[in-house]
Amino acid sequence: MAIVQISKIQHRKGLQENLPQLAGGELGWAQDQRRLYIGNGTLVDGAPVIGNTEVLTEFSDVLSVATPYTYKGEAAGYTVKTDEPAVERKIGGKLDEFASVKDFGAKGDGETDDTVAINRAFYELFCREKNPEIRRSLYFPAGIYKTSNTILVPPYAKVYGEGVESSIIRMAPDDSSMPTFAMRTTDSLQQTGANIGSNSAILPKNIEMSSMTIESNVETHILLVESAQQCYFESMNFTGPLLKADLTDATKGTIAIEVEGTAAATPEMITFDKCGISGCTYGVKADANSNGVTFTNGRFHILWRAVQLGEDTTDVGPLGYRITQNLFDDVSDSGIYFANVSKNISGHNVFLDVANTFNGTGNPSESIIQILADDNISVGDMFERTDADDLIHTRVDVANTVRGIYFDNARGIAYGNYKRESGVRATIENNQTSAQTIFTRQENGFCCFNIDYSISRGDAKRIGTLTVTLSQGSNALSYVDDYNENAETGVVLSVTESGSNFLFKYTSTNTVPGHIHYSLTHLR
């Protein structure tokens, strides 16, 4: 190939839109775009095509001129067949399949107010058009995203971060003005409250958030789930600024997670899985109609009351809530409070320092679980509270109903007002008198309970029921021992009262050692 000596370099400059066909080797400078081009020359001279070729600089759109992308699947050890011929895509299109909140101007440096940038990302990805093709998962890289106003989460939003200690949205207003919520669900037009769902907007639904923290360093509510359906929150923290000293009563009134809706737009199928809730007056609060909300595998910590349903409801209220497999610790008042609601479940939760006003075991201030209405259940919940504490404030305080059922710390099963204790086994020694507290006088002054028992001493067997009553007014204690035995067991049973406690006693003769098994049944 002959080398052509260029004795003179020709060049032109002007606006990008006015760039002409350049001669072979001629340079063209688009000064408004700061981009450089060179003429291809003619086909006779050997150019593959007539036109201009861009010389790449720092201002070039590299992705638009890059070699098209073809998926190869090299990790599999072979080239994946995508089609015939192979599918080619632009690099820019490939990268646009995923969106970072930083693509919309968020900084995540803990200093810049990212409120507008975050809400802009939600609008552009999920609200601007209705067609599904615009939707992208929104990624929050590790950082602290300072906000000063409410973050609006629309339908179909899928949001994820790098973990609860890494991706943090922090409400921190610079002035005294303070929004009601750090974050709330909205419709497709980012409308809330009384306007939600109006103007043909799509109600909140199919929202997924994971691996991040929503917190506030001011006394505001954290998250409002409003009129939303089929939403999922996983591996998240919802954190307020309150400390134990702020939570001896409900004065502050802040809420970590509130569920609200209307009869026409009832929240349904909402799940919080592996979430931490702390630093607020109420962990979860719901009064309006809502169905099928689940809190599972989470932790409720540093709160006045952890879960409260239906305290101020005027309609059906929260229904079908499942509070299961959570840890409750450092909760000043009750862990779970079911008020004017029905068909809600507490199950297999563990309650440590709860309803002790942060004073620890031995200082009960309230019942750990309060169920004030029919058709609610506590099943398999476990408690740190001791029997001595339970004489003052119960572990589970159920409504006056035969339809609520719960298992009390493996000590018994209750069905409404009726309770069957799990039972005790004791050794009967010769010539011995033994007594054990089994029951506490009820507040109305009337007590009636049964002790079902069996005694075994050698070959002698006895089975019976001791029925105990304490009459109102006279306070006269009486009991009847109705039993059958195959031989004399040499045991006399009795019940006495010591203060407000009833003691179950047995006195044995000198025969052979044995055993007694007994279980208490009573009305609450």
Using the 3D structure, point to which of 363, 388, 422 is the last residue of a domain. Answer: 422
pLDDT at 446 over 60: no
- pLDDT of 1 reads 37
What does the pLDDT average to over 307-333? Answer: 93
Say which CATH number the domain at 464 has. 2.60.40.1680
pLDDT band at residue 471 using 50, 70 and 90 as cut-offs: low
- pLDDT of 406 reads 58
pLDDT tens per residue, range 386-428? 767 776 777 777 665 434 555 554 466 766 567 777 778 889 9
- pLDDT of 23 reads 86
Of 64, 75, 73, 66, the closest CA to residue 33 belongs to 64
Q: Is residue 227 part of a domain?
A: no
Q: Are residues 294 and 322 in the same domain?
A: yes
Best mean pLDDT range from 295-304, 388-397, 484-493:
295-304
| Choice between 404 and 69, residue whose per-residue pLDDT is larger | 69
Counting Cα atoms < 13 Å in the Cβ hemisphere of 523 gives: 12
Q: Is residue 223 part of a domain?
A: no
Distance CA 147, CA 438 (A): 57
The residues that bridge with 428 in the sheet, in sequence order, are 514
pLDDT at 9 over 70: no
The residues that bridge with 130 in the sheet, in sequence order, are none
- pLDDT of 508 reads 92
- pLDDT of 3 reads 46
Q: Are residues 403 and 443 in the same domain?
A: no
Best mean pLDDT range from 47-56, 213-222, 446-455, 503-512:
213-222
pLDDT band at residue 76 using 50, 70 and 90 as cut-offs: low
Q: Is residue 258 part of a domain?
A: yes
Using the 3D structure, point to which of 22, 42, 57 is the last residue of a domain. Answer: 57
pLDDT tens per residue, range 429-445? 999 888 887 776 655 44
Distance CA 294, CA 268 (A): 10
Of 359, 361, 344, 360, the closest CA to residue 369 belongs to 344
pLDDT at 93 over 80: no
Q: Are residues 451 and 335 in the same domain?
A: no
pTM of the model: 0.74
Distance CA 232, CA 140 (A): 17
Contact in structure between 357 and 380 (CB atoms under 8 Å): no
Q: Are residues 305 and 453 in the same domain?
A: no
Distance CA 367, CA 249 (A): 15
pLDDT tens per residue, range 178-196? 889 999 999 999 889 888 9
Q: Are residues 435 and 418 in the same domain?
A: no
Distance CA 116, CA 110 (A): 15
Using the 3D structure, point to which of 402, 422, 442 is the last residue of a domain. Answer: 422
- pLDDT of 411 reads 61
At 396, is the secondary structure helix, strand, or coil? strand
Lowest mean pLDDT among 83-87, 221-225, 299-303: 83-87
- pLDDT of 417 reads 64
- pLDDT of 475 reads 66
Of 395, 346, 365, the closest CA to residue 304 belongs to 365
Contact in structure between 222 and 178 (CB atoms under 8 Å): no
Distance CA 124, CA 74 (A): 34
Three-class HEC string of 3-58: CCCCCCCCEEEECHHHCCCCCECCEEEECCCCEEEEECCCCCCCCCCCCEEEECCC
Q: Is residue 181 part of a domain?
A: no
Q: Is residue 518 part of a domain?
A: yes
Question: What percent of the chain shows pLDDT beyond 70?
Answer: 89
**Phi, psi angles (nearest 5°) of residue 57:** -130, -175
- pLDDT of 8 reads 57
Token code pair at residue 329: 């610790």
Amino acid at 119: N
Q: Are residues 264 and 296 in the same domain?
A: yes
Direct distance between the N- and C-terminal alpha carbons of the chain, in angstroms, rounded to an integer: 105
The structure tokens 């169905």 sit at: 291
Contacts of 209 (CB under 8 A, 6+ apart): 153, 157, 158, 159, 160, 232, 233, 234, 236
Of 403, 335, 408, the closest CA to residue 378 belongs to 408
Distance CA 237, CA 162 (A): 13
Instruction: Mark out the alpha helices in 29-164 (DSSP H runs).
Output: 62-65, 91-95, 115-126
Q: Give kind and range of the element (H or E) at residue 389.
A: helix 387-390
Q: Are residues 332 and 377 in the same domain?
A: yes
What is the chain's mean pLDDT, rounded?
A: 86
Q: Is residue 318 part of a domain?
A: yes
The domain in which residue 396 lies consists of 242-422
The residues that bridge with 327 in the sheet, in sequence order, are 299, 350
Count of the separate structural domains present in the chain: 3
**CB atoms < 10 A from the CB of 205, how many?**
19
Q: Is residue 475 part of a domain?
A: yes
Q: Is residue 117 part of a domain?
A: no
Residue 85, preceding peptide bond in cis (omega within 30° of 0):
yes
Q: Are residues 432 and 343 in the same domain?
A: no
Distance CA 102, CA 117 (A): 8
What does the pLDDT average to over 131-141? Answer: 87
Q: Are residues 312 and 400 in the same domain?
A: yes
pLDDT at 361 over 50: yes
Q: Are residues 313 and 401 in the same domain?
A: yes
**Phi, psi angles (nearest 5°) of residue 315:** -125, -150
pLDDT at 86 over 90: no
**For residues 391, 393, 396 and 399, what is the CA-based torsion angle, rounded to 10 degrees?**
110
Q: Are residues 261 and 275 in the same domain?
A: yes
Q: Are residues 398 and 461 in the same domain?
A: no
